[in-house]
Amino acid sequence: MKFQDFIAHKVGDSKYCFSIEELELATGKARMHLKGDLSHAIEKKEISAFRRGFYLIGKHPIYGSLPRMPISFYIDDLFKYLKRDYYVSLFSASEYNGASHQSVFNDFVNVHIPSMKTIKVKQYDTFFHSVSVWPKKNIVRRKEDIYTFNMSSRALTTVDLIRYEREIGGINTILPNIEELSYNMTTKDVEDLLSWYPYKSILQRFGFLLEYLRLKQGEHLYKPIEEYLSQFKTFPVLLSEGVEGEEGTNVYEDEVQEMGEKWKVKVKFFLDSDLFYMGYRYYDVETEEGQKMLIEQGEDPEVWKKLLEPMPHEKGYFTDQNIT
């Protein structure tokens, strides 16, 4: 098979990546004899070298206008080629989990140790975080269109966001994502996480933020964390060791202090989620006090209920199942 026929065959099968070994097998040529074809195709922007020995194919007929190819198109094939464990994580997983508050311009993947270097190839910026304790649960197999890949569940996505918050913008950057993730997070997802997750200080922050963001509406999520941590001796931790802007009075200062003491979490900065509006949160529009406050501000509570409710998933478009 000729090189161009191989590329056409891959595109015809809706496959937009390939390995050098796959190309050698299909063409019957040795690697050294394929260098000319590969270089010519890269120069013409028909393919791009994503990683040594692994290539992405040009523009997708549907997604070609996007700034980058969706990670779901190639990530599973890449790690099969590398023979390594992985899962799509952080803001990338948050987006697939329906919490796409921020525009995602980079891809994030967690890998089992050893570490991997960041891949920066033109418009493809992929950041890898190495994990020493590999998840025993909370990795789901996601299907998008005809492509399947590994991805963190909502609970695992949240604790990853908290763990790496200093590297991705700080607590206030991830607060909207955590709140949106919590809307469809399940008690089982949290309990599965507690069955293996080793970092108690992250769980303290996880429980604190769930209670702060959701209060009574989040009891089914943070109560299992509270009960689990009660079995251990925990120590005071900072919500974030990074600089989060000006110190100041939080919107719910009394609640923050009380919750901080409960979870042994110290908050030294102003908590600012732009899903908060004029001092109230999503669940406040469901309470009589919250509705009264809205009316005093000249707002219609019913309108804000619709604006602030979590976005539902498109039925039939995404499917997932636990693989661990």
Residue type, 148: T
User: Domain 1-58 adopts which CATH fold?
Assistant: Arc Repressor Mutant, subunit A (1.10.10)
Comparing 198-202, 265-269, 307-311, which segment has the lowest mean pLDDT?
307-311
Comparing 5-9, 37-41, 280-284, which segment has the lowest mean pLDDT?
280-284
pLDDT surpasses 90 at 108: yes
Instruction: Please calculate the CA angle 24-26-29 and round it to the nearest 5 degrees.
Output: 40
Interatomic CA distance for residues 260 and 268, integer angstroms? 11
Q: How many C-beta atoms lie closer than 10 Å to residue 115's C-beta?
A: 10
pTM: 0.81
Residue 135 DSSP class:
-
Q: How far is CA 81 from CA 15, 167, 196, 266, in A?
A: 14, 28, 28, 44
Going from N- to C-terminal start, the domains of the chain cover 1-58, 66-229
Average pLDDT over residues 235-258: 67
